[in-house]
Amino acid sequence: MIVLKTARELAYMRDAGRIVAETLQEMEKAVKPGVTTAELDAKAEDYIRQQGAKPSFKGYQGFPATICSSINEQVVHGIPGLRKLENGDIISIDVGASVNDYHGDAAITVPVGEIDAELQRLLDVTRQSLHVGIEQARIGNRLFDISHAIQEYVEDNRFSVVRQFVGHGIGKKMHEEPQVPNYGPAGRGPRLQAGMTLAIEPMVNAGTWEVETKEDQWTVVTKDMKPSAHFEHTIAITDDGPEILTRTRGA
């Protein structure tokens, strides 16, 4: 069942989304060579709690932290720890927070120091594919119009989209229906309606789309160990088009 949100629910989600976006802004400032992912995690948790919100991931199906930190060939769901960021790495940071039990969820991938041009292209294409997808999140379109637009953009740029992990509906639960794949045929899936809220999150690999989960049961890596990037926004479908909920005030 896809839950359509009321104006009041959307207001909570806008609050949660803003806090998530601000947390990511803090993360972007904090990422530099020598910093550990556990330090980033602590900073994110402090920020979210200071705002009176709750970290959505901590304890979710046993996930131990506030952020997912995924470096280089790690695709998503990396667990923060003592690994230090190095010059030339890329790190994906995924954060969720809730206000009055309504969740916001977003992710960015940022360079650590100087990265090579092809890695930068991977980040740019992934970020742009998210926006190409969001552009399709309009009343009357179908869900897979979003999926198809992302896949087409990514593959035209000679990268691949992860199949095994997908975006999702979001609201009072962090994961609601529908699933939002980043691939698929246009013109299929449920029709989009005002009040739907979706977390759209392309995971884009430099090499093969295939991924596997490590022994910790969380960290997902590319099968060919080539780098992967991840960008995500929580959006609402409104009469005026897609509204990005996970953004900072004034952005």
Report the nearest approach of other proteins to the CB of residue 56 (Å): 8
Q: Quick one: tokens of 14? A: 């806008």
Structure tokens at 172: 């009072």
Site string for other proteins, 209-248 (x = CB under 8 A): -x-xx----------------x------------------
Q: Which of 12, 63, 144, 159 binds other proteins (CB under 8 A)?
A: 63
What distance in Å separates the CA atoms of residue 32 and residue 96, rounded to the nearest whole number? 22
Please, what is the minimum distance in Å from the beta carbon of residue 96 to other proteins? 6
**Which one of residues 13, 68, 91, 154 is an interface residue with other proteins (CB under 8 A)?**
68
Our CB check for other proteins shows the closer of 118 and 152 to be 152
Asked if 164 touches other proteins (CB under 8 A), the answer is yes
Nearer to other proteins, 6 or 164 (CB): 164
Q: Which of 157, 179, 238, 248 binds other proteins (CB under 8 A)?
A: 179
Least Å from the CB of residue 16 to other proteins: 14
Query: Binding to other proteins by residue 185, rule CB under 8 A?
Result: no
Please pick, from the candidates 12, 102, 159, 165, the single residue that binds other proteins as defined by CB under 8 A. Answer: 165
Residue 203 token pair: 């995971």
| CA–CA distance, 208 with 225 (Å, rounded to integer) | 9
The tokens 């041009």 sit on which residue? 117
User: What is the C-alpha to C-alpha distance for residues 171 and 168, in angstroms, rounded to an integer?
Assistant: 10
Local structure of 103: helix, strand or coil: strand
- Find, among 248, 161, 247, 245, the residue nearest to 198 by Cα: 245
Within residues 138-157, the interface with other proteins by CB under 8 A covers none
Burial class, 229, CB count within 10 angstroms (exposed 0-12 / middle 13-18 / buried 19+): buried
Spatial distance between the Cα atoms of 43 and 25, rounded to a whole number of angstroms: 11
Known binding residues for substrate are 77, 175
- Nearest to other proteins of 94, 145 (CB atom): 94
Q: State yes or no: residue 44 binds other proteins (CB under 8 A).
A: no
Q: List phi, psi (to 5°) of 67.
A: -115, 155
Choice between 27 and 76, CB closer to other proteins = 76
* Interface of this chain with other proteins, residues 100 to 119, rule: CB under 8 A: 105
Token pair 């992990």: residue: 165
At 236, list the tokens: 């609402």
Q: Is-contact 68 92, C-beta < 8 A?
A: yes
Q: Where do contacts with other proteins occur on this chain (CB under 8 A)? A: 56-57, 60, 63, 68, 76-77, 94, 96, 105, 163-168, 174-175, 177-179, 181, 201, 203, 210, 212-213, 230
